Amino acid sequence: MTDPHSAPRRKPKPSAEKLAGRKLKPATLMMGHGYDPQLSEGALKPPIFLTSTFAFPSAADGKRHFEGITGKRPGGAEGLVYSRFNGPNQEILEDRLSVWDEAEDALCFSSGMTAICVLMLAFCSASDVIVHSGPLYAASEGFVARTLSRFGVTYRDFPAGADSAELESVLEEAKALAAKQGGKVAMVYLESPANPTNALVDVEAVRGARDAVLGTDCPIAIDNTFLGPLWQQPLRHGADIVVYSLTKYVGGHSDLVAGSVAGAKRWMDPVRMLRNTMGGIADPNTAWMLLRSLETIELRMQRAGENAAKVCEFLAQHPKVEGLGYLGMISDARQQDIYRRHCTGAGSTFSLFVKGGEAESFRFLDSLRIAKLAVSLGGTETLASHPAAMTHLSVPDERKAKLGITDNLVRVSIGIEDPDDLIADFDQALAKV
């Protein structure tokens, strides 16, 4: 009989990550990594574990698990405990998310915003300063400016394209402000490409400035929702933590809401501890759907990227189009340089500047027949929205103007439909402007 006091965690059989000296690619690992059918009656695919709690093999095991969960013993939980902390579907998902960004650890959440809020709360104390790039997704910006500020956290921001000198200057300013307040610079938070302008942040330059001004104890986090995980891997370029709204390309079918953060355990441990306390972990059903989505993510993103290139080629020539904010057609030399160093693809989400203002943009949006008029992005279907009047409505007018969120900006996210059908749709809608 096994000793009940040393019942091991029923860890999955380690999956092959290398074969004949070859490191297996993420697309291969998405089919089975982190899941052992023998732990689930041989089921080829993981069942959805609908349970709120997990039975301990013994009281001693229960105690050990809680020591890990509460941080009394380093290393985290050794087994499944309670569904606010962990669950099999979520653990498999987190293992697979780590693969794409080559992260040591990943954590999944019930939405992108839950991930972002818990991440920031895990690192900020009263009197601290957050430095962030601008623009950010409006809810992220609002959380810093309107919620964290109520707890004595202040912020400084810089334009997405800032160079090393500008970055060092804003970090020096933030450091002085933190010293005056009696706190620290708690986090450098980036979003690149930025929603909705597609402006890129030079992550390498941010890393250089952070190291020079603040040292390495202040993490650099980056929201990689628009290009990740396929076309940009910011941990390779100097970020410490990568953040996703999994609602977008990773979920990819516009049928779920979820988020994640990933990075070295050093950065993930405090986030995990706070998630254990607050909750906000993705539910098992959503985690299962994300596992299914991850099996096709490379195919979906590649097709959407190819479609976007064709659609943008058409739009760029159209007389009713004033311009495009598409990463495949960058005219600014500095942005082009960042793109060349950080990105391996232009993505499928871009800004389309219609000639005219809000009225012309609305006429265009109301005339689309295939593309749906909805916020969000990264799904199988093409979506179009008007950030100034929708996702970024809460951003003050002055800031909108400064960030280039104009009344003639339509944000488009191209899906995986037939590209010529999409071009026909944009053509007929532009004819009605």
Ligand X SMILES: Cc1ncc(COP(=O)(O)O)c(C=O)c1O
Binding site for ligand X (CB under 6 A): 111-113, 137, 191, 195, 223, 225, 245, 247, 257, 259, 376
Q: Which is nearer to ligand X, 24 or 139 (CB)?
A: 139
Question: Least CB distance from residue 57 to ligand X, whole Å?
Answer: 36
Question: Least CB distance from residue 374 to ligand X, whole Å?
Answer: 11
How would you write the chain as a 3-class SS string? CCCHHHCCCCCCCCCCCEECCEECCHHHHCCCCCCCHHHHCCCCCCCCCCCCECCCCCHHHHHHHHHHHHCCCCCCCCCCCECCCCCHHHHHHHHHHHHHHCCCEEEEECCHHHHHHHHHHHHCCCCCEEEEEECCCHHHHHHHHHHHHHHCCEEEEEECCCCHHHHHHHHHHHHHHHHHHCCCEEEEEEECCCCCCCCCCCHHHHHHHHHHHCCCCCCEEEECCCCCCCCECHHHHCCCEEEEECCCCCCCCCCCCCEEEEECHHHHHHHHHHHHHHCCCCCHHHHHHHHHHHHCHHHHHHHHHHHHHHHHHHHHCCCCEEEEECHHHCCCHHHHHHHHHHECCCCCEEEEEECCCHHHHHHHHHHCCCCEECCCCCCCCCEEECHHHCCCCCCCHHHHHHHCCCCCEEEEECCCCCHHHHHHHHHHHHHCC
Q: Which is nearer to ligand X, 257 or 312 (CB)?
A: 257
Quote the tokens at residue 373.
């008029």
Question: Least CB distance from residue 228 to ligand X, whole Å?
Answer: 10
Q: Which is nearer to ligand X, 12 or 259 (CB)?
A: 259
Q: Which is nearer to ligand X, 133 or 335 (CB)?
A: 133
Question: Least CB distance from residue 373 to ligand X, whole Å?
Answer: 15
Q: Which is nearer to ligand X, 98 or 225 (CB)?
A: 225
Q: Which is nearer to ligand X, 128 or 223 (CB)?
A: 223
State the residue number with the nearest CB to ligand X.
Answer: 112
Question: Least CB distance from residue 140 to ligand X, whole Å?
Answer: 6
Question: Least CB distance from residue 345 to ligand X, whole Å?
Answer: 17
CA distance from start to end of the chain = 77
Q: Which is nearer to ligand X, 97 or 257 (CB)?
A: 257
Question: Least CB distance from residue 416 to ligand X, whole Å?
Answer: 19
The answer to whether 340 and 237 are in contact (CB under 8 A) is no
- Which residues make Cβ contacts (< 8 Å) with residue 71, sequence separation at least 6? 269, 273
Q: Which is nearer to ligand X, 118 or 124 (CB)?
A: 118
Q: Which is nearer to ligand X, 247 or 408 (CB)?
A: 247
- In angstroms, the CA 172 to CA 211 distance is 12
The answer to whether 186 and 153 are in contact (CB under 8 A) is yes
Q: Which is nearer to ligand X, 139 or 424 (CB)?
A: 139
Q: Which is nearer to ligand X, 56 or 326 (CB)?
A: 326
- In angstroms, the CA 330 to CA 341 distance is 14
Question: Least CB distance from residue 15 to ligand X, whole Å?
Answer: 28
Question: Least CB distance from residue 317 to ligand X, whole Å?
Answer: 28
The answer to whether 34 and 57 are in contact (CB under 8 A) is no
Question: Least CB distance from residue 237 to ligand X, whole Å?
Answer: 18
- In angstroms, the CA 425 to CA 417 distance is 12
Question: Least CB distance from residue 232 to ligand X, whole Å?
Answer: 12
Residue carrying the six token digits 């590649």 = 302
